Amino acid sequence: MSATDTTTSAEGAPAGQSGRKLTTARAMAEGIAQEMERDTGVVVLGEDIANYGGIFGSTTGLLEKFGPDRVLDTPISETAFIGLGIGAAVEGMRPVVELMFVDFFGVAMDQIYNHMAKIHFESGGNVRVPMVLMTATGGGYSDAEQHSQCLWGTFAHLPGMKVVVPSNPADAKGLMISAIRDDNPVVYMFHKGIMGLPWMAKNPRSVAPVPEEPYETPIGKAAVAREGSDATVVTLSLSVHHALDVAEKMAAEHGVDLEVIDLRSLVPLDTDTVLSSVARTGRLLVVDEDYQSFGLSGEIAARVAETDPGLLRAPLRRVAVPDVPIPYARSLERAVLPTPERIEAAVRDLCKA
């Protein structure tokens, strides 16, 4: 772990001298709290975000600190409260609105993609919608078809929303602060498996040093989570950690040196970081917990091909969710998620190792 602990620290974050460690959930809540202290226009809305502190801990402690006027539990009424966030943002507030599971977007998508994402454009730039829509993503714990999806490709596909997807505590805080300060709607997508929840298998990097002071992690800038020379693994969120684990194993057992890129943002997408890595390694694997077809992995492939197909010395590989809903049974779910085993198999194929 020690090799990756250093490389997954937040780019753009001040060097944390204290070494204080937080879970990703705590880091998010701290980022929100620091912005609430700075700006009284920041309010938090959503289901179970007040007394409960967020089902996945993203708002823990905010009610106690800021009270019920600024931390508001809503009815199970996503269209109404996401739309309310939009109207409040139009009037100059900076709401942070939680959609409990991204899978629930279907009941409120009109507010999200027809209103939140389009008002600035429709108004010719005259009306801004500075809100954060944060939402939990991802599977791996048998929550089945309607509570396990990532769907970031869906949001990234629709113009007008920035989309950020942190993978670790330091980025989670910095991206939250950047998202709140951004004058655009930002969809902030956190994987349940990176939150450091006591009631779910913890990724070892879900508790990590987080600087205490407020700081921004730039939106639209990928991080090189591990430097390497033999192949590039482009990924995000929980899959970053699987990729790092595979990279350590491949280095130790096969002498294969992987570069792992943590995209962190999908909109805007840091194409330059991907291209410069692929230009050096000549081999590309995209690991994505979203569905395979018409999504992120195809987009990365297209951007490489559009720039210079000659960058690739071997056919590109993808490890994503094959085009099937996420199954319930553990055996089936593991068969379709981008597990370390699937990633390793793809790397070995890609590198002939």
Partner 1 sequence: MDDKTRLDLYRVMVLSRTFEEAILREYHADKKPAFDIGAGLVPGEMHLSAGQEPVAAGVCAHLRAGDAVTATHRPHHVAIAHGVDLDKMTAEIFGREGGLGRGRGGHMHLFDPNVHFSCSGIIAEGLPPALGQAFAFSRGEGNRVAVAFTGEGAANQGAFHESLNLAALWKLPVVFVVEDNDWAISVARDASTCIPSNADRAAAYGIPGQRIDDNDVEAIYTTAGDAVARARAGEGPTLLEIHTLRLWGHFEGDPQAYRPELADVPDQDPIPAYEQRLTQAGILDADTATAIKEEASARVEKAIEFAKASPVPAPETALDHVFA
Residues that bind partner 1 (CB under 8 A): 69, 74-75, 77, 79-93, 95, 107, 110-111, 114-115, 118-128, 130, 159-160, 162, 183-184
Q: 97 with 45: CB under 8 angstroms?
A: yes
Please report how close the Cβ of residue 29 comes to partner 1 at its closest, in angstroms.
22
Nearer to partner 1 among residue 87 and residue 282 (C-beta)? 87
Q: At a CB cut-off of 8 Å and minimum separation 6, what does 270 contact?
A: 220, 221, 222, 263, 264
262, with CB counted inside 10 A (0-12, 13-18, 19+), is buried
Question: Six-digit token pair at 127?
Answer: 């009306």
CA dihedral 151, 152, 157, 163 (to 10 degrees): 150
Please report how close the Cβ of residue 232 comes to partner 1 at its closest, in angstroms.
28
Active site annotation includes 242: no
Please report how close the Cβ of residue 84 comes to partner 1 at its closest, in angstroms.
4
Please report how close the Cβ of residue 80 comes to partner 1 at its closest, in angstroms.
4
Between CA 61 and CA 49 the distance in angstroms is: 10
Catalytic residue, chosen from 147, 191, 241, 242, is 147
Nearer to partner 1 among residue 29 and residue 117 (C-beta)? 117
Q: Which of 174, 216, 213, 172 is nearest to 193 (CA)?
A: 172
Between CA 38 and CA 55 the distance in angstroms is: 25
Nearer to partner 1 among residue 87 and residue 340 (C-beta)? 87
Nearer to partner 1 among residue 19 and residue 125 (C-beta)? 125
Please report how close the Cβ of residue 60 comes to partner 1 at its closest, in angstroms.
23
| Element containing residue 160 per DSSP (H, E) | none
Between CA 353 and CA 345 the distance in angstroms is: 9
Nearer to partner 1 among residue 115 and residue 264 (C-beta)? 115
Q: Where in the sequence numbering do the catalytic residues fall? A: 147
